[in-house]
A and B are shown apart, each in its own frame.
Chain A
Amino acid sequence: MGTREEILNIIEKNSRIDVHELSVLLGAEELLVANELKALEDEGVICGYHTMVDWSKTSIEKVNALIEVKVTPTRGLGFDSIAERIYKYPEVTSVYLMSGGFDLMVILEGKSLQEVAGFVNNKLATLDTVLSTATHFILKKYKDHGTILTKQYEDTREKITP
């Protein structure tokens, strides 16, 4: 049986793989692999099976922004309660607590520039604990989740070599 790390390495890149195929790649019993997957899910190590979509290749408009947020931590709760207030908005896709020049990194997805700007002005900046925000719009994604979006793999090797 491969290590947990090996299972996670595989499904992180291919969440569609089924238990049977996974057990072949790992050289392990199907039942063992199924149990391990279940355990990983129960422990929250595996938190979802998503699909990577490059929306820019569709006709559907999506705008992504990174927002640096400086906040005043709440007594007793630190940054957690303010983070929670922010991540509950469905348009927020990620929230990270950061070291360095600002506190929270908020990643946002909206339909248009105006929508994102509206969210920052009306919802985010008006929160009591938020001291300041700096919004950066994403212009182009080259690589996301370890996948290069701008180039297709091309096999340039000679077809037969010793």
Chain B
Amino acid sequence: MRNPIGKKIVDIKPSGIRKFFDIVQETEGAISLGVGEPDFDTPWHIRDEGIYSLEKGRTFYTSNAGLKELRQEVSNYIKRSQGVTYDPLKEIFITVGGSEAIDLAFRAMIDEGDEVLIPQPSYVSYEPCAILADAKPVIIELKEENEFRLTAEEILEKVTDKTKILVLPFPNNPTGAIMEKEDLEKIAKVVIEKDLYVISDEIYGELSYNGKHVSIVSLPGMKERTILINGFSKAYAMTGWRLGYACGPEEIMKQMIKIHQFAIMCAPTTSQYAAVEALKNGDEDVKIMREEYNHRRRYLLNEFKKIGLPCFEPYGAFYVFPSIKKFGMSSDEFCTRLLKEEKLAVVPGTAFGDCGEGYIRISYAYSLENLKAAMERLERFISRL
């Protein structure tokens, strides 16, 4: 029999998180701070709208691009949060989570051999999706001394005449880093100068703790060269609903929708109706959750200080990314031992790129009581090292 598997996919490493997941599953009584999704339930009025849409029998496909009403609400939301206007009929479409939008953006824009700049540590899917789209991923290693922000110099070091796309993953998973307006202005200048396009993954945008999140699309000249990706998973605690969206220039959206139409058809209808409610009446829910995350963030940073775990102050998402370099172990070793000896699961920084070595990702999508129990274990572990 011949080999059923294509070469391109075999060469892609499985997600580093998967391996760890298996060990955690086998560890009885483990506390985990390894989750990348909110601990809150989807607010009830949003769930209720989903249930209502089922009761009314809205169980059919929507248009490929998604419900008009939802696209209009997305447009309103971006207008009120970033002051940027997107045409809901031509420049916005609804996807199966932000992750589908990432995949589609690469596939719609890449020709074989085009280079994509991917800052790391970052979410696990950019590099494999770029490879699957026949791009050449070029990694930019973000540095702790810059608070894991991306600088113009770092782009200039890696940019070539083949570079077409810059991935901008802020607020960042796993570091919690954000980009402020001044940081983005410097990036925008280089992007325009080098004629690049930006895929801006702003799924954690609503979870910013040092003033409001600023999107690069709000800077002059950037809307026309940016694919803005966002979704409902993090802000509204709707991960399982699988719903996101992409906004950008009409010519690119057209091609992305073409792939979406053949591969997916449309995003889940029930989720789309629920999402309309989220955008219309969910601002207060987001505010309450953000406030709660912020308390936990401050709690963890204070605990780290007490137990002697160095960590820069992150202002976004729901992760902290402390350095474990002083213990003279690899991230993998640290996490494996922490799990074995104290039954506490956190994710090695290397799951998000090689330059995550020397760091661990701790999620604070857990109640304060949970975090307190976990910090006791972490403190005990560190005091023995």
Contact = CB atoms under 8 A, between A and B. Distances in A.
A149 interface: no
A160 B39 contact: no
B298 A25 contact: yes
Interface string B280-294: 000000000001000
20 contacts: A10-B295, A21-B299, A24-B298, A24-B299, A26-B298, A153-B367, A157-B35, A157-B39, A158-B21, A158-B35, A159-B24, A159-B34, A159-B345, A160-B20, A160-B32, A160-B34, A160-B35, A160-B345, A162-B17, A162-B173
Interface string A140-162: 00000000000001010111111
**Among A10, A26, A153, A159: residue with most chain B CB under 10 A:** A159
Nearest to A24: B302
A141 to B, nearest CB: 19
B345 A9 contact: no
Contacts, number: 50
Interface of B: 15, 17, 20-21, 24-25, 30, 32, 34-37, 39, 123-125, 173, 291, 295, 298-299, 302, 345, 347, 351, 367
Contacts of A26: 295, 298
A118 interface: no
Contacts of A29: none
**Across the A-B interface, the 3 shortest Cβ-Cβ residue pairs:** A160-B34, A25-B295, A160-B21
Interface string A1-40: 0000010011000000000010011110000000000000
A162 B15 contact: yes
B102 to A, nearest CB: 13
Contacts of A24: 298-299, 302
Contacts of B24: 159-160
Given A24-B298, A155-B39, A160 B291 contact: no
Interface residues of A, number: 16
A6 B291 contact: yes
Q: Which residue, A6, A158, A159, A162, has most C-beta atoms of chain B within 10 A?
A: A162
Specify which of B298, B345, B347 lies most central, judged by the most chain A CB atoms within 10 Å of its CB.
B298
A12 to B, nearest CB: 12
B265 to A, nearest CB: 26
A159 B35 contact: yes
Nearest to A155: B39
B34 to A, nearest CB: 4
Contacts of B173: 162
Nearest to B174: A162
A107 B173 CA distance: 50
Given A6-B291, A157-B35, A157-B37, A162 B298 contact: no
Nearest to B351: A162
Given A24-B298, A153-B367, A157-B35, 19 more contacts: A9-B291, A10-B295, A24-B299, A25-B298, A25-B299, A26-B298, A157-B37, A158-B21, A159-B21, A159-B24, A159-B34, A159-B345, A160-B32, A161-B34, A161-B37, A162-B15, A162-B17, A162-B124, A162-B351
Given A160-B24, A161-B37, A162-B123, A27 B298 contact: yes
Contacts of B39: 155, 157
Contacts of A160: 17, 20-21, 24, 32, 34-35, 345, 347
A161 B36 contact: yes
A26 B302 CA distance: 11
Contacts of A10: 295
Nearest to A153: B367
B35 to A, nearest CB: 5
Interface in A109-162: 153, 155, 157-162
B176 to A, nearest CB: 15
A159 B291 CA distance: 24
Nearest to A161: B36
A161 B35 contact: yes
A159 B30 contact: yes
Contacts of B25: 159
Contacts of B17: 160-162
A162 B15 CA distance: 9
A27 B299 CA distance: 9
Contacts of B21: 158-160
Contacts of B302: 24
A143 B27 CA distance: 35
